[in-house]
A = this chain, B = another copy of it.
Amino acid sequence: MKSLTELSELIHQSVNNLQFPQQPSGLYDPVRYMLSLGGKRMRPILTLMACDAFNGEVKAAIPPALGVEVFHNFTLLHDDIMDNAPLRRSKPTVHEKWNSNIAILAGDAMFVEACQLVMNAPSNSVKEVMSVFTKTALEVCEGQQYDMDFESMENVTIDQYIDMIRLKTAVLLGASLKMGALVAEANISDANHLYDFGVNLGIAFQLQDDILDVYGDADHFGKQVGGDILANKKTYLLITALEKAQGDLKSELLQWISSTDKSDNKVNAVTSIYDKLNVRMIAEEKMQQLYNEALLHLEAIPIPEASKQPLKDLADSLMNRKN
């Protein structure tokens, strides 16, 4: 088994080696810029790790792994336009550095590049790998649409929220793993268990994001603590609080989330309501439950424990992160 460090280095190197045409520079400079902003490259690492776990040739999984990473960056690029986000990884977003039209088109080109990379999977598995990839790409669009829909909806249920983050975030983690397993020609049942491992882990990961946004250590978190609260974002914490709160507490919460106050007062007040309602514990329990569910799927795969260890280690590090 290759270690997380080895696979991570391999992917970072491969992303750095990606070549795009020089002209038209108005199209490809933003693509290069977007991919230069860095990131953990978690998704392509998962693809290689899955391939390795089933004794596949890791090198053969590199092109589809890169396809997943380029696709992920394409979604970030277009999401940033839709969210009107000024910064991505502390650098100006593409639509800020250039303009929206450039960002739309560069994103489109990245999606084409992603398809081309995925199509370079080995012949034996390319049809299945591409099928997982396109199915997932469409689901990610659906997740983004639900996320936008939720902004203007008064009542979003916990189930609707979980389904949204499943589509927007988690299925791509599942697909990254499944694609690697398919390259290694794992059987479909095992590949699906790995997919479910990834999806459950992905939902747990997003819940943890919601928790860290409020309860994270500002030094480690890397962004403003309480950002979701200030943006009145419907997170697992807020939706849970809205379901639990009654009487005066509910009125108080509703009042805060209808205000555009951007001060620490608001963060402190809403956090205090969350505390009274035990929202953090509820979210952590849900996260733990999803994490356990993920591990059950990993356990169901009949490969040696040693083959699963890097996946377990990665899951563990994701669940115990501080940012």
- Distance between A135 CB and nearest chain B CB, rounded to angstroms: 8
**A159–B142 Cα gap in the complex (Å)?**
42
A130 and B119 form a contact (CB under 8 A): yes
* Given A24-B142, A126-B127, A142-B24, A101:B115 Cβ within 8 A: no
Q: Mark A112-139, 1 if CB is under 8 A from B, else 0.
A: 1101100100010011001100110110
Q: Does A148 contact B (CB under 8 A)?
A: yes
Contact A105 B130, beta carbon cutoff 8 Å: no
Please give, as numbers and ranges, the residues of chain B lying within 8 Å of A119 by CB-CB distance.
127, 130-131, 134
Q: Does A38 contact B (CB under 8 A)?
A: no
A145 at the binding interface (Cβ < 8 Å): yes
Contact across chains for B134 and A116 when beta carbons are under 8 A apart: yes
Is A1 in contact with chain B by the CB < 8 A criterion?
Answer: no
In the complex, residue of chain B having the shortest beta-carbon distance to the beta carbon of A23: B142
Inter-subunit contact A138/B126 (CB<8 Å): no
Interface residues on A, range: 35 or more
Whether the Cβ atoms of B82 and A101 lie closer than 8 Å is yes
Question: Given the known A-B contacts A24-B146, A141-B105, are A112 and B134 also in contact in the complex, defined by CB atoms under 8 Å?
Answer: yes
* 20 other A-B residue contacts (CB within 8 Å) besides A78-B108, A107-B108, A108-B108: A21-B142, A23-B142, A24-B146, A26-B148, A27-B142, A27-B145, A82-B101, A100-B100, A105-B144, A105-B145, A105-B148, A108-B141, A109-B142, A111-B112, A112-B138, A113-B138, A116-B134, A119-B127, A119-B131, A123-B127
- The interface centre, meaning the residue of A81, A102, A119 with most chain B CB atoms within 10 A of its CB, is A119
Q: Do B137 and A112 touch (CB < 8 A)?
A: yes
* Interface status of A248 (Cβ within 8 A of chain B): no
Interface pairs A-B: 9 shortest CB-CB: A27-B145, A24-B145, A82-B101, A109-B141, A112-B137, A112-B138, A116-B134, A26-B145, A115-B134
* A to B CB contacts below 8 Å, 8 in the list: A105-B148, A108-B108, A108-B141, A111-B111, A111-B112, A112-B137, A123-B127, A126-B127
CA distance A126 to B126 in the complex (A): 10
For the complex, is A219 an interface residue (Cβ under 8 Å from B)? no
Q: Does A149 contact B (CB under 8 A)?
A: yes
Cβ of A76 under 8 Å from chain B = no
Q: Is A314 an interface residue (CB 8 A)?
A: no
CA distance in complex: A134, B134 (Å): 14
Complex: A148 Cα to B142 Cα, angstroms:
30
Contacts of A123 in B (CB 8 A): 127
Q: A116 vs B134: C-alpha distance in the bound complex, in angstroms?
A: 7
Contacts of A134 in B (CB 8 A): 112, 115-116, 119
Taken residue by residue from 187 to 213, chain A's Cβ proximity to chain B (1 for < 8 Å, 0 otherwise) reads as 000000000000000000000000000
Give A138 to B119 CA distance when docked, in angstroms.
Answer: 14
